[in-house]
Structure 1
Amino acid sequence: MLAIGVLIGLVVRAKPIQGIPTVMSTLIVRKIESSRDIQRFLQLPWALYQDDPQWSPPVLAEMRMRLNPKKNPYFEHAEAAMFLAERDGIPVGRITAQVCQLAQIHQQAGDGHFGFFECEDSQATADALFAAAADWLRQRGMKRMLGPFNLSINEEAGLLVDGFHRPPYVFMAHSLPRYQHNFDQAGFAKEVDLYAYLLEVEKAFPDRIERIIHSAARDPRIKLRTVNQRNLEAELHQVLSIFNEAWSNNWGHIPMTEAEVDDMAMMVRRLFGTDSVVLAEVGGEVAGFIVAIANLNELTADLDGRLFPLGWLKLLYRMKFGSCPSVRVPLMGIRPQYQSSRTGAAITFAMIDFCRQAYAPMQVKHCEMSWILETNSAMRGILEAAGSTLDKTYRIYSKPIV
């Protein structure tokens, strides 16, 4: 076994393990801030996932922006710290700890978050990383650690615990299978599972669902349309309103801020196009929305995380002239007054079909609907009735901070 002591900027000396040469090594876990250390933090997965054929290298420039308090609106209501584990000067693990003030208001006060967990095959290293995050959260009055969130529940959430057979879709996490053991051994308990469903785009809906869709198409009150490019910001703020209403009673929901919606609007303009956001109107009022985006991971997989010097040209060319065989639906919502109603079910199926009909001519084969709370039986029932199948499971863990 490994002897371990825990501090911020901690030194751990490993005892010899049977079968391993008896060379003492030193593990240090320290809080990082410099550009050089952040780069090493971001590049660590390349060493850990080199033998994982399903891993999709993240775009480093996007990750740097996400962790930059000056560029990510998340930091307007949150603070975070990054920790790097090094063994004899070589990065072997990482983690973040973060306190979101909106989570303190809208969820359980005293819950601190953690994320971006990656680790060598060592429980001692995992324990040291968890301890560093817990200590930072404790100093800020947190009573419990919850995660992983990279950085918030509205970004990459959960540890992949089932579904390692397929690369992650855009803005979804990927993990090594052994991480579940690290969490269990460290005393974390399951908080909730998040599901990813897979829809075969070319597969016809069951007859019953087709009848519901045709009924919605004949209803003069119901109209589906994409957002207006000239009025994108205002339309996306309607999406924000529906999102915050529709999800207000869901586990873990943290309302998106106006700055975060503005950031999403910029991303839609630059990367996905206004056709990716579909609104459903009932009697002239926006009653629901769905966001369906190209799975950019398929277009960036061979860029090795780098947009420069030529990666961005390849990506732009593929987005403009190529095809992407898969898409993801990261957001969908119905105003509360239409939930659990025939009209709500009709516009939900109609929005899914609208996206399916739009993407099928583009040779899109698969659509991931993610993520869905395991407790959201109504939405799970809709997706399963439409022919979607459960494809992946992500787990949120919690642990008291003592």
Structure 2
Amino acid sequence: MSDVEIRLVDDPRDYRAFVQVPHAVFADDPAWIAPLNFERSQHLSPRHNPFFEHGRAQLFLAIRDGRPVGRISAQVDELRLARYRDATGMFGFLDAIDDRAVFAALLNAAEDWLKTEGMTRAVGPFGFSINEETGLLVDGFEHPPAVMMGHAAPYYEGHVTAAGYTPVKDVLAYDFDNSKALPRGLAGMLAKVKATGDLEVRPLSKKNLDRDLAILIDIFNDAWSDNWGFTPFSDAEIRKLGQDLKMLVEEQFIAFAIYQGEPSAMAVTLPDINRAARDLNGKLLPFGWLKLLSRLKFSTPEAVRLPLMGVRKKFHGTPVGSALAMSVIDAIRTYHVGRGTQRAELSWILEDNLPMRRMIEAVGGTAYKTYRIFERNIA
């Protein structure tokens, strides 16, 4: 490792270099889509990312022969620690050239920082929390990443495991053909519940955004509370989510199911901005912002991603719960098909969330990517 220098990221030049590392790593990868540099810089900034109100992080660059060849973050999330009390820190934003020494040096730097923060276990990658990009891509490299999903090269996994990390959990991304109607059995079940008059499905109301955002988060917190690694959104993160949704989506991108007068299920879709920005190479200036705005505002998205879907816990494992899930998925599917959007990614789905996986597969979804979360005892 003697020829690899690890540098703390602590000035604007190094932040810019940190954002640019993937451009060099994936320069010859036809599947990679450059995220928007401006958005990534905002995400890394303690001034703009509400994660830093309850977490702290350190970024690192790997330098060889005077140029950046890798990057990593190390972070501690106080919301996670308050929930689990397990002295676990996280790493993320791991990208590097195909060199085991570079990966080892980066992971060692992250671990050393986490130890100074009192952590005894490292888990990742996350960027910065489990509610953001999650896991290392280990299968499905030929497919471009959807919005807010990571990408990797096949060599990443081997270098991470060589550094002493072991898999702790897989999460899946499903490809879904929007044009497929619900199977007859599921459609019949949904029709029966609707016929009772107990079920209402409606879109988001931007006029009542604060109300609907509170409903969405309340369902999310209840539905996901027993999931592996669940960490609630902070109030500031909820406000940021509301701002993003207001800017990015039409009301029908989000659906709520009201059962017997109680909001009981929700689903959120986002336009796959990555596809719209593929030819921009991460740059909004001088004219990239005009192209992106035009594509998002005046064109039907090629694909959407469903990052959030939940049914209240009391309905889990019941026919009503299945109908609630189907009702919000079908409402969104019908809207997008009517606009001409044919494909969707449903992600991420925990590998052991078998009821959800069976439901997705029953409506024609195909698992096409696997993201893996790793852990290591660093005490």
Task: Confirm or deny: 8 A CA contact 1:83 1:96 kept in the other structure.
Answer: yes
- Mapping for residues 242-281 of structure 1, pairs under 5 Å: 242-281=219-258
Q: Residues of 2 paired with 1:226 and 1:215: CA distance?
A: 21
Give the alignment partner of residue 74 of structure 1, picking from 44, 51, 62: 51
Say whether the 8 Å CA contact 1:55–1:168 is kept in structure 2.
Answer: yes
**How big is the shift at 1:54?**
0.5
Give the gaps of 5 or more residues in structure 1.
Answer: 5-11, 13-25
Structure 2 counterpart of 1:190, from 149, 152, 167? 167
C-alpha distance in 1, partners of 2:279/2:192?
A: 44
Deviations 1:86-135, CA, capped at 9 Å, x for gaps: 10210000000000001112235210000000111110111000000000
* 8 Å contact from structure 1 (residues 212, 349) kept in 2: no
2:324 counterpart SS class: helix
Name the residue aligned to 1:21: none
The answer as to 2:363 corresponding to 1:382 is no
Q: How does 1:33-112 map to 2 (within 5 A)?
A: 33-112=10-89
C-alpha distance in 2 between matches for 1:356 and 1:214: 16
Deviation of the 1:165 alpha carbon: 2.0
CA displacement, residues 262-312 of structure 1 (integer Å, 9 cap, x when unaligned): 101100111123322211101221111000111111101111101122111
Identity of aligned pairs, percent? 39
Q: Deviations over 1:326-379 (max 9, x none)?
A: 111000111111111111110101111111100012221211110011111111
Contact 2:252 2:332 in 1 (8 A): no
- Please tell me whether the aligned partners of residues 326 and 367 of structure 1 are also in contact (alpha carbons under 8 angstroms): yes
In 2: Cα distance, 1:81 partner to 1:255 partner: 22
The 10-residue stretch of structure 1 (275-284 or 181-190) with the greater mean CA deviation from structure 2: 275-284
Q: Which residue is 2:192 aligned to?
A: 215
Normalised TM-score (structure 2): 0.98
1:121-175 Cα distance to aligned partner (Å, 9 max, x none)? 1101110000000000000100010000011110100000011121011111111
Contact preservation (8 Å) 1:82, 1:96: yes
Distance (whole Å) between structure 2 residues aligned to residue 178 and residue 267 of structure 1: 34
TM-score by length of 1: 0.92
Q: Pick from 120, 123, 131 the counterpart of residue 154 of structure 1.
A: 131
* Match runs of 1:136-147 below 5 Å: 136-147=113-124
Matched length: 379
- State the 4+ residue runs in structure 1 displaced beyond 3 angstroms: none
Task: State how 1:2-401 maps to structure 2 within 5 Å.
Answer: 4=1, 12=2, 26-401=3-378
Higher RCO, 1 vs 2 (CA within 8 Å, ≥6 residues apart): 2
Task: Work out whether residues 216 and 350 of structure 1, in 8 Å CA contact, stay in contact via their aligned partners in 2.
Answer: no
Give the 3-state SS of the residue equivalent to 2:277 in structure 1: helix
Q: Radius of gyration: which is bigger?
A: 1
For the 8 Å contact 1:156–1:173, the answer to whether it is kept is yes
Q: Which runs of 5+ in 2 are unaligned?
A: none
Mapped to 2, the partners of 1:107 and 1:290 lie a distance apart of: 27
